[in-house]
Copies of this chain bind each other. A is one copy, B any other.
Amino acid sequence: MIRLVDRNAAILIIGNEILTGKIQDENTPFLARELFSLGIRLERVIVCPDDIDTIARDLRELRTSHDVVFTSGGVGPTHDDLTLDAVAKSFDTPIARSGEMEALIRAHFGERTTEDHLRMALMPVGARLVHGFDVAWPTVAIENVYVLPGVPEILRRKFSVIRKELDRGETFFSEAVFTLADEGEIAGILHELTRAFPALVIGSYPKMPGAADHRVKVTFDGKDEADVSAAAEAFVTKLPREKFLRRERVI
**A contact face: mostly helix, strand, loop, or mixed:** mixed
Check if A18 sits within 8 Å of B24, measured CB to CB. Answer: no
Q: How many copies does the complex hold?
A: 2
Residues of B within 8 A of A185 (CB): 112, 114, 116
The residues of B that contact A153 with a CB separation of less than 8 Å are: 208, 211
Given the complex, which residues of B lie within 8 Å of A208, measured CB to CB?
151, 153-154
- The segment out of A76-84, A92-100, A124-132, A237-245 that lies at the interface is A76-84
Instruction: State the CA gap A204–B116 with chains docked (Å).
Output: 14
Cβ < 8 Å to B, chain A residues 198-226: 201-208, 211, 219, 221
* Cβ proximity bits A59-90 to B, threshold 8 Å, 1 near / 0 not: 00000000000000000111111000000000
Stretch at the interface among A29-37, A162-170, A227-235: A29-37
Contact with B along A97-121 (1 / 0, CB 8 A): 0000000000001001110110110
Q: Which of B35, B78, B202 has a CB less than 8 Å from the CB of A190?
A: B78
Task: Give Cα distance in the complex from A158 to B72, angstroms.
Answer: 31
A24-52 residues at the B interface, CB under 8 angstroms: 24-25, 28-36, 41-50
- The residue on B at minimum CB distance from A172 is B20
Q: A196 interface residue, CB < 8 Å from B?
A: no
B residues near A135, Cβ cutoff 8 Å: none
A7 to chain B, nearest CB (A): 14
Q: Determine the residue in chain B with the shortest Cβ distance to A34.
A: B21
A22 touches which of B13, B120, B219 (Cβ 8 Å): B219
Interface contact A36-B17, CB-CB below 8 Å: no
Residues of B within 8 A of A78 (CB): 183, 186-187, 190-191, 204
Say yes or no: B16 contacts A203, CB within 8 Å.
yes
A5 within 8 A of B: no
In the assembled complex, which residues on chain B have CB atoms less than 8 Å from the CB atom of A32? 18-21
Task: Sort A-B residue pairs by CB-CB distance and give the 4 closest, nearest first.
Answer: A21-B32, A21-B33, A116-B187, A45-B47
Q: Which positions in A face B, CB cutoff 8 Å?
A: 13, 16-25, 28-36, 41-50, 76-81, 109, 112-114, 116-117, 119-120, 150-151, 153-154, 172, 174, 183-188, 190-191, 194, 201-208, 211, 219, 221, 250
